[in-house]
Amino acid sequence: MSGLKDKLKGHADTMVGEVKRGVGKMTNNPGLEARGTAQKLKGVAEKAKGAVKSAADRF
Protein backbone atom coordinates (compact mmCIF):
# COMPACT_ATOMS: atom_id res chain seq x y z
CA MET A 1 0.00 0.00 0.00
CA SER A 2 2.93 2.35 0.58
CA GLY A 3 3.71 2.28 -3.13
CA LEU A 4 0.28 3.64 -3.94
CA LYS A 5 0.73 6.40 -1.37
CA ASP A 6 4.03 7.43 -2.99
CA LYS A 7 2.46 7.36 -6.44
CA LEU A 8 -0.41 9.62 -5.33
CA LYS A 9 1.92 12.06 -3.58
CA GLY A 10 4.13 12.09 -6.66
CA HIS A 11 1.20 12.79 -8.92
CA ALA A 12 0.07 15.67 -6.69
CA ASP A 13 3.57 17.17 -6.60
CA THR A 14 3.86 16.85 -10.37
CA MET A 15 0.58 18.67 -10.92
CA VAL A 16 1.26 21.45 -8.37
CA GLY A 17 4.77 21.88 -9.75
CA GLU A 18 3.43 22.25 -13.27
CA VAL A 19 0.94 24.91 -12.13
CA LYS A 20 3.66 26.82 -10.24
CA ARG A 21 5.92 26.63 -13.27
CA GLY A 22 3.18 27.97 -15.53
CA VAL A 23 2.26 30.80 -13.16
CA GLY A 24 5.93 31.72 -12.80
CA LYS A 25 6.31 31.81 -16.56
CA MET A 26 3.16 33.90 -17.06
CA THR A 27 4.09 36.40 -14.35
CA ASN A 28 7.75 36.55 -15.41
CA ASN A 29 8.86 35.18 -12.03
CA PRO A 30 11.88 32.95 -12.64
CA GLY A 31 12.09 31.94 -8.97
CA LEU A 32 8.56 30.56 -8.93
CA GLU A 33 9.13 28.90 -12.28
CA ALA A 34 12.28 27.19 -10.95
CA ARG A 35 10.52 26.04 -7.76
CA GLY A 36 7.71 24.64 -9.88
CA THR A 37 10.14 22.73 -12.06
CA ALA A 38 11.89 21.34 -8.98
CA GLN A 39 8.59 20.25 -7.43
CA LYS A 40 7.53 18.62 -10.69
CA LEU A 41 10.79 16.64 -10.84
CA LYS A 42 10.34 15.62 -7.20
CA GLY A 43 6.89 14.33 -8.11
CA VAL A 44 8.26 12.31 -11.01
CA ALA A 45 10.82 10.72 -8.66
CA GLU A 46 8.13 9.95 -6.06
CA LYS A 47 5.97 8.26 -8.70
CA ALA A 48 8.93 6.12 -9.76
CA LYS A 49 9.63 5.24 -6.12
CA GLY A 50 6.00 4.22 -5.71
CA ALA A 51 6.14 2.05 -8.81
CA VAL A 52 9.22 0.26 -7.51
CA LYS A 53 7.59 -0.30 -4.10
CA SER A 54 4.42 -1.62 -5.73
CA ALA A 55 6.44 -4.01 -7.87
CA ALA A 56 8.40 -5.19 -4.82
CA ASP A 57 5.15 -5.77 -2.87
CA ARG A 58 4.04 -8.27 -5.51
CA PHE A 59 6.90 -10.61 -4.63
pLDDT in tens, 8-59: 999 999 999 999 999 999 999 999 999 999 999 999 999 999 999 988 888 7
SS3 category, 24 = helix
**The predicted structure's pLDDT at residue 2:** 78
**The predicted structure's pLDDT at residue 43:** 97
Does the predicted model carry a pTM greater than 0.95?
no
As a whole number of angstroms, the distance between CA 41 and CA 16 comes to 11
**The predicted structure's pLDDT at residue 1:** 59
**The predicted structure's pLDDT at residue 49:** 94
Range of the domain at 20: 2-57
Task: Indicate the number of domains in the chain.
Answer: 1
**The predicted structure's pLDDT at residue 58:** 81
